[in-house]
Structure 1
Amino acid sequence: MARQGVGLLLLVALGCILAEADARSIEFLSVRVRTLLSASDHKYRDHEKPPLFANKVGPFHNPTETYKYYDLPFCPPVVLNEKVEDLGEVLNGDRMVTAAYDLSFKVDKEKETLCVQKLSVKDVRKFRDAVKNDYYFQMYYDDLPIWGFIGKIDPPDEKDARYYLFTHVHFDIQYNKDRVIEINVATDPLRTVDITEDAEVEVEFSYSAKWQEVDKAFEKRMDKYSRYSFLPQHLEIHWFSIINSCVTVLLLTGFLATILMRVLKNDFIKYSRDEETLEDQEETGWKYVHGDVFRFPKNKTLFAAVIGSGSQLLALTLCIFGLALVGVFYPYNRGALFTALVVLYALTSGVAGYVSASYYKQLEGTAWVRNIILTGCLFCGPLFLTFCFLNSVAWGSNSTAALPAGTIVIILLIWMLVTAPLLIIGGIAGKNNKAEFNAPVRTTKYPREIPPLPWYRSTVPQMAMAGFLPFSAIYIELYYIFASVWGHKVYTIYSILFIVFIILIIVTAFITIALTYFQLAVEDHEWWWRSVLCGGSTGLFIFGYCFYYYYARSDMSGFMQTSFFFGYMACVCYGFFLMLGTVGFRASLTFVRHIYRSIKCE
């Protein structure tokens, strides 16, 4: 406290010297500094002003389409100060500025006039369009989010409806001793202005505030937002649906695993008898292709890059789950998830470099520089191109979803100074790795011809079969995730999401192993790329679900929102394709090594 006091005096003295301020400006500066110090620990004295920031406005059904609060002609404060935001907040579309409301600690207000403003015809049209598109506003008071609507249509869904602008806002604030616990905002439906006609209107914007003392602990003030979107009965249905889905999928997986194990056991018995009694008999089935099954795939550079990128995304996902399970991503921790994604992606790039270069060396590749470059661009390249297009759309719409040039420079610096060096270091380590691809059987000089197969044995039908079972394991959970990411619901049950993710990995691994066995059993030895495509096919099912969710389960509309939804979801589904394709390949490789190690092949 002594250091804070000395710092406060120095700041006040410096303000006097530089600005030659009068007593009033000195008092303002000292109050401002005290407010900043109080906001750091959320403790306030009577009549002190907790920070209140106006964040953004936008259509309720288009969560990405947001604009600056004062893009609408509200009453601005005398001094419009922008809050210094971190990387995650900017990526989240937050653009916070000081609000004009005076919500001093423990000070009730019956009705305070914010300003009397004469709206021009242009201003009236802006507000009318906002009311027509169901605009909401968002603010933060002492880091607590608050929302309200701009106006209303009465009667709704009628041709002769009237448009009304809310002019009065009431704040209900709860406190415990010297800390703010909860805040709610309500607009007064009786205090409105008719803005249906294109005419100048004089509007009195006003507000009121009511403080109430409660005994709720400060540490529990965010619990309200955890329960905000999922009522107890909905949560019960959620748990029941997920458990039912997981049990069904696991039973089906177990049933198929039992059948596969019995078939394999019969194969082992058959082949052991052939070795003892019928050595001259022609081999059939998967043993017949033992000289080709470990023949390296085509396009080795691309194949190794896919495995490296998928391994990085798997490591990134596990790290994100680790942070979520320890409580880092609590409700409305602004931008924490986006910050974690950027930082962890940069830090895990060494995984991509190492795995890709290591596999590339085992596959006897020589152009390892090209391999590392392709690994670095395989996921980042499409993501960067998508971002450039969508950011241009947001810039054209003057939306807060558009990243400022400074933020883009920061992300590029992170990529150049952290991601690229770690990728190269990982690639060098993987290239120098002593591990070799030790195949349990020898590969023949010339590949065998694959016999003609029925249409359902081709790649596309096999991908459809491979993706359906894993997708059915996560189908129900996808709705809750989409409603959180592309809506206003709050997702907090990360434990069950992690369980569903583990089940997704297990089911993907198993179904890919099963299809790899069936592929080898019909003497089709080109399983390398097939295992990647079958494992990653769940990503295509998720992208198909995006169309169902957008057109059947949501009310999103407009070019910008549609572009953002399908653009970024395409990148997410592509990431799932790489990650689950890697899981499918690794599982299939382990399986193939095991079965050919268990039999004698000449």
Structure 2
Amino acid sequence: MDIRALQKCGKVNVCPVFHEWEYEIALSIHNQRPVLYLFAYPAPLLSPLIWRMEESSTILLVAFLVICCASQVRSEASNHRYKAGDPVPCYSNKVGPYHNPSETYSYYDLPFCLPEHVKEKKESLGEVLNGDRLASAPYKIDFLVEKDAELACKKKLKKEEVSQFRTALAQDYYIQMYFDDMPVWAFIGQVDRPYLAEKNDYKYLLFTHMVFEFLYNKEHVIEITARIDQSFVIDLTEDKEVDVEFTYTVKWRETNIPFEKRIEKYYSSPTPHQLRIHWFAVMNSCLTVLILLGCLVMFYVRVIKKDINKYANDKELLDNQEETGWKNIHGDVFRYPKHQSLFAAVVGSGTQLFILTVSIIMLGLVGVFYPYCRGTLLTALVVVYAITSGIAGYTAVSLYFQLEGTNWVRNLLLTGYLFCGPLLLTFCFLNTVAITYRATAALPLGTILVLFSIWMLVASPLLFLGGITAKNSKSEFQAPCHTTKCPKVIPPQRWYRGILPQMAVAGILPFGVIYVELYYLFVSVWGLRAYTIYAILFIVFIILVIVTAFVNVALTYFQLAAEDHEWWWRYTVFLPMF
């Protein structure tokens, strides 16, 4: 079918993507469904290549991406069935200081025993982003086979290796391992610090024996606990070569816990005291919302009542009165802001990030994320950000055309780079630092190429698709009143009406609503505790949105009442201040 024939049907809108490219996009109506046609002309002699994407196919594509994101969430029971004597997968992951969990290194960066064949586990995108580096552990675990003081290996530590262990002991290093996809943690040793003793008198003790206790239900591993036997230690205080024997014990006990509930152990169930703190914060936030709502309602009722009484007076007296406040600038309120393209890009990117936040919280509510699932949250962030790029493109271009912009392609590019550009610069700096220190946070080249491919092949096309859709359905901005040709001069403002004091107010009030939950979120991000109370987080997020809206309405009104009609950018700055 020729594209000109489609144009003659009267049910198609054709939009050239770039004039110098031989590509055209057509939007038609087929069986009461919108159909998208992509025409590619690689050469004059080649017939057009038509890709047809119906609305249902688009929904299936999005659903497929979400399912791919969630497919790694729950372990299938069929993949975790063992017979007596079958090997149980055992992987060492990483080591790092307990008080700085974001600083992690590969397990074998410390001179632990190496197995005969070190096999690195193939990791998913989320696992690599999470800093996981799984490799074969030096322990051999067989299903239902108990072992007592089994020798893992013998090793002669050199002076440099002793010094390396001593440095790790001084920083309270811990190790993380995975057995049958269940994480365990243990300290590598301890520092004996006598009271009032000097640093030279400290003793550095390395643990050499681990006890693994497994719970099983029929053919499934249900739970694992790793603990240290402190009676097996090696003194590494002196700089000398030391012979070390690493041993381990394996115990098995039967339990009635079903396989489907084995992950519940890792849900850090808050204590009743902690729950009271959360709910007290929620009630405090609700009280803040009610106070703000009451103040706004009382204020606006008083203003409206005053205006009604004023216009109810004698008409001649009304004509002699001069308009003041926001009524005096009614012809300038809807004057377009400066830098329309940047403004539209900010609104588009902000809308995308808002949808991203809501989507992640909703996925947490339905149980997609469970504690210590390797990289599921980061995978979801990447996938959801990519598939919501079309929202950013549509919102930005739609607003840009309403502001009478013309160069919509540049606006789309600005929207795409507005968030990804600073993020890329930050990533390059942090990744360089991580590579310098050989931390597991450093992303390999392959992962960087995967992220770049997702951005180029998924996020960018959806961004342009959203922009093209907005261009085809563009509408004019219809202001409720006429905008004057010459803007009024803004009178001098008091210091507290400046942008910095108002930004502080716009940030303090929403922060007061979420500071308790924010504390627990930071504990989960920077600490070793997982955040699992997504229901309370969702409630607090809704309250945060309401408070932010109330604060912005109030501040914008006060600005207009002071006859300052340049509210567009300030309103946009107020919104993200929380």
TM-score category (smaller protein): 0.7 to 0.9
Aligned to 2:302: 263
One of 49, 70, 81 as aligned partner of 1:43: 81
Q: Distance in 1 between matches of 2:161 and 2:439?
A: 18
Q: Indicate the larger mover: 269-278 or 77-86.
A: 269-278
Partner of 2:276: 237
| Deviations 1:454-491, CA, capped at 9 Å, x for gaps | 11111111111111111100011111000001110111
Cα distance between partner residues in 2 of 1:224 and 1:411: 33
Q: 1:600 matched to which residue of 2?
A: none
Q: Is the 8 A contact 1:349 1:423 kept in 2?
A: yes
Which of residues 411, 414, 419 is equivalent to 1:374?
414
Q: CA deviation at 1:245?
A: 2.4
CA RMSD of aligned residues (A): 1.7
Does 265-274 or 114-123 show the bigger shift?
A: 265-274
In the superposition, relative to structure 1, how do residues 40 and 384 fare at CA in structure 2: closer, same or farther (>3 Å)?
A: farther
Q: How many residues align?
A: 500
Is the counterpart of residue 395 in structure 1 residue 432 in structure 2?
no
Partner of 1:350: 390
Bigger helix share: 1
Classify 1:306/1:271 alpha carbon distance in 2 versus 1 (closer, same or farther; 3 Å). farther
> Are the structure 2 counterparts of residues 445 and 181 from structure 1 closer, same or farther at C-alpha, using a change threshold of 3 Å?
same
For 1:294-339, what per-residue CA distance to the aligned partner results, in whole angstroms no more than 9, with x for missing partners? 0000111110010000001011111112211110001122100000
1:98 to 108, 133, 136: 136
Rate the CA distance shift 1:156–1:212 in 2: closer, same or farther, 3 A: farther
Matches within 5 A, 1:50-449: 50-155=88-193, 158=197, 159=199, 160-227=201-268, 230-270=269-309, 272-273=311-312, 276=315, 278-449=318-489
In structure 2, distance between residues paired with 1:112 and 1:154? 27
CA distance, structure 2, for counterparts of residue 238 and residue 275 of structure 1: 58
Q: In 2, Cα distance between the equivalents of 1:175 and 1:276?
A: 88
Give the superposition deviation at 1:64: 1.5
**Partners of 1:342 and 1:416 in 2: CA distance:** 13
Asked whether the equivalents of residues 282 and 540 of structure 2 are also in contact (C-alpha less than 8 Å), the reply is no
**AA in 2 matched with 1:473:** V
Q: 2:137, 2:359 → 1: CA distance? A: 37
Question: How far apart are residue 231 of structure 1 and its match?
Answer: 4.2
Q: Which runs of 5+ in 2 are unaligned?
A: 1-74
Alpha-carbon deviation of 1:280?
4.5
Q: Work out the CA distance in 1 between the residues paired with 2:79 and 2:273.
A: 35
Q: For residue 497 of structure 2, what is the aligned residue in structure 1? A: 457
Instruction: Summarize the Cα distance change of 1:366–1:150 in structure 2 as closer, same or farther, 3 Å threshold.
Output: same
Shift of 1:41: 2.3
Q: In structure 1, what is the Cα distance between the partners aligned to 2:294 and 2:135?
A: 59
User: What TM-score does the superposition give when structure 1 sets the normalisation length?
Assistant: 0.81
C-alpha distance in structure 2 between counterparts of 1:102 and 1:38, whole Å: 23
Question: Per-residue displacement from partner, 1:222-258 (whole Å, max 9, x unpaired)?
Answer: 111113xx54134323323322321331232222222
> Aligned equivalents of 2:210 and 2:310: distance in 1?
81
Is the partner of 2:477 in helix, strand or coil? coil
Instruction: Determine the C-alpha separation between the residues in 1 that align with 2:235 and 2:314.
Output: 92
3-state secondary structure, aligned to 1:385: helix
Per-residue CA deviations over 1:325-365 (Å, capped at 9, x if unaligned) read 11000112210000000011111011111100010100011
Return 265-274 or 441-450, whichever deviates more. 265-274
Cα drift, residue 431 of structure 1: 2.1
The answer (yes or no) to whether the contact 1:80–1:98 under 8 Å persists in 2 is yes
Q: Secondary structure at the match of 1:152?
A: strand
Task: Select the structure that is richer in strand.
Answer: 2
1:518 shift after superposition: 1.0
CA distance in structure 2 between the partners assigned to 1:403 and 1:101 by the alignment: 28
Query: 2:123 and 2:556 mapped to 1: Cα distance?
Result: 50
Please state how far the C-alpha of 1:417 moved relative to its aligned partner.
0.6
Larger deviation, residues 440-449 vs 461-470: 461-470
Shift of 1:267: 4.6
- Whole-angstrom distance in 1 between the partners of 2:236 and 2:243: 10
The 3-state SS of whatever aligns with 1:222 is helix
- What CA distance in whole angstroms lies between the structure 2 residues aligned with 1:234 and 1:488? 20
| Whole-angstrom distance in 1 between the partners of 2:339 and 2:236 | 64
* CA drift at 1:270: 4.5
Corresponding residue for residue 512 of structure 2:
472
Consecutive unaligned residues in structure 1, runs of 5 or more: 1-36, 539-602
Contact residue 126 and residue 375 of structure 2 kept, 8 A: yes
Cα-to-partner distance string for 1:367-402 (whole Å, 9 max, x where unaligned): 212211111111110000000000000000011100
Structure-1 separation of matches of 2:293 and 2:194: 53
Partner of 2:51: none
**TM-score normalised per structure 2:** 0.84
Task: Give CA deviations for 1:469-517 in whole Å, capped at 9, x if unaligned.
Answer: 1110001111100000111011101011011111111111111001111
Q: What is aligned with 1:7? A: none
Residue 492 of structure 1 corresponds to: 532
Q: How much has 1:534 moved relative to structure 2?
A: 1.8
Amino acid aligned to 1:205: F
**Cα distance in 1 between the residues matched to 2:314 and 2:257:** 77
User: Is the Cα contact below 8 Å between 1:67 and 1:400 reproduced in 2?
Assistant: yes
Supply the distance in 2 between the matched residues of 1:434 and 1:276 (Cα, whole angstroms). Answer: 43
How far apart, in 2, do the equivalents of 1:267 and 1:521 lie?
14
Shift of the 181–47 alpha-carbon distance from structure 1 to 2, 3 Å rule, reads: same
Mapping of 1:516-535 within 5 angstroms?
Answer: 516-535=556-575
Distance in 2 between residues matched to 1:145 and 1:287, nearest whole Å: 64
Contact 2:289 2:546 in 1 (8 A): no
C-alpha distance in structure 2 between counterparts of 1:279 and 1:349, whole Å:
52
> Identity over aligned residues, as a percent?
55
Aligned mates of 2:567, 2:272 — CA distance in 1: 47
